[in-house]
Amino acid sequence: MSTPDRQITVPKFSAMKAAGRKITMLTAYDYTLARLLDSTGIEAILVGDSLGMVVQGRPNTLPVTMDEMIYHAEMVGRAVQHALVVVDMPFLSYHLGVHQATENAGRVLKETQCQAVKLEQGPQQLEVTAALVSTGIPVMAHYGLRPQSIHQLGGYRVARDRERLLADAVAAEEAGAFSILLECIPGDVAREISAAVSIPTIGIGAGVGCDGQVLVTHDLLGMTPGPTLRHAKAYVDLNALIVEAVGRYRDEVRESTFPGAEQTFD
């Protein structure tokens, strides 16, 4: 079966860097939002383990399981016709060695229609990355702030070790990663990394020097509780719009003005 021409494949995604075309990526966790995002022509959708916080209301991403990622990825993969869909490997789904990582990442390709996985990288993940790539599983490597290491890092902090970040990015490319996600690192370091590797860098809180950008869609839509994060931008205040719409519905039901004649069958 051939891939439809308009589908962004891993090679097409990678080729965008050489073509000097910026890459747009957003998170999605369900069919409805994934379909809408895909209709805008963005190049990539991430089924992020941020769903642990955004959808499940947990304090961090650590409790998210492989089965939960598959559940959400299956819905997103089914909705998307155009974008490349990358799925986060959750905490402890790839840390116990190549065998465990291959089995779990393989589930993403076998049980969902998504095309790639993302791994938060420590040194031992280079071997895992190489093994997955050799199995035919495309890997996006995630450096900088790594939320799965929150307890070791002592909080969500900007990663500033320039030498380390640069060396890690080069090593990830050598291991076969098709792209590198850079989370919360200084803009000049991200620009330097982007120039040093030939695969696309996708930034979040990493400045405009990356080859593309990713945002948590709920942040972009103004659906996250509390103030907007420094690195995020709310393009609309959906929280307010939803509360306003639901308030109108509540009032109309209480006043018996909904349902009206139009919504009532003869």
Q: Which one, of 101, 152, 110, 100, lies nearest residue 129 by Cα?
A: 101
Distance, CA of 139 to CA of 253 (rounded, Å)? 50
Query: Which of these ranges, 46-54, 218-226, 227-235, 256-264, lies near ligand KIV under the rule CB under 6 A?
Result: 46-54
Cβ proximity to ligand KIV: between 119 and 132 the closer is 119
The catalytically annotated residue of 127, 183, 252, 262 is 183
- Rule CB under 6 A: is residue 46 a binding residue for ligand KIV? yes
Query: Which of these ranges, 11-19, 47-55, 101-109, 132-140, lies near ligand KIV under the rule CB under 6 A?
Result: 47-55
Query: Which of these ranges, 42-50, 90-98, 168-176, 248-256, lies near ligand KIV under the rule CB under 6 A?
Result: 42-50
Longest dimension (CA), the chain: 73
- Rule CB under 6 A: is residue 50 a binding residue for ligand KIV? yes
- Rule CB under 6 A: is residue 214 a binding residue for ligand KIV? yes
In this structure, are residues 197 and 170 in contact, taking their beta carbons and an 8 Å threshold? yes
In 17-48, which positions are buried (b, 16+ CB within 10 angstroms) versus exposed (e)? beeeeebbbbbbbebebbbebbeeebbbbbbb
In angstroms, give the least distance from the CB of 214 to ligand KIV.
5
Distances, alpha carbon 68 to alpha carbons 72, 213, 220, 239, 244, in Å: 6, 25, 23, 26, 32
In angstroms, give the least distance from the CB of 246 to ligand KIV.
26
Active site residue 183: yes
The residues in 82-111 that bind ligand KIV, with binding defined as CB under 6 A, are 88
Residues 6+ apart with CB under 8 A from 172: 121, 126, 129, 141, 143, 180, 197
| From candidates 216, 220, 221, 234, binder to ligand KIV by CB under 6 A | 216
| From candidates 48, 90, 138, 186, binder to ligand KIV by CB under 6 A | 48
| From candidates 14, 27, 93, 115, binder to ligand KIV by CB under 6 A | 27
Q: Where are the alpha helices (DSSP H) in the chain?
A: 10-18, 31-39, 51-54, 66-79, 98-111, 125-135, 150-153, 162-175, 187-196, 217-220, 238-254
Any idea which residue has 């909080």 for tokens? 155
| From candidates 183, 210, 221, 224, binder to ligand KIV by CB under 6 A | 183
Residues 6+ apart with CB under 8 A from 27: 45, 46, 47, 48, 50, 51, 54, 214, 215, 216, 217, 218
In angstroms, give the least distance from the CB of 73 to ligand KIV.
12
In angstroms, give the least distance from the CB of 8 to ligand KIV.
18
Cβ proximity to ligand KIV: between 14 and 213 the closer is 213
- Rule CB under 6 A: is residue 204 a binding residue for ligand KIV? yes
Binding site for ligand KIV (CB under 6 A): 27, 46, 48-50, 88, 181, 183, 204, 214, 216
Residue numbers annotated as active site: 183
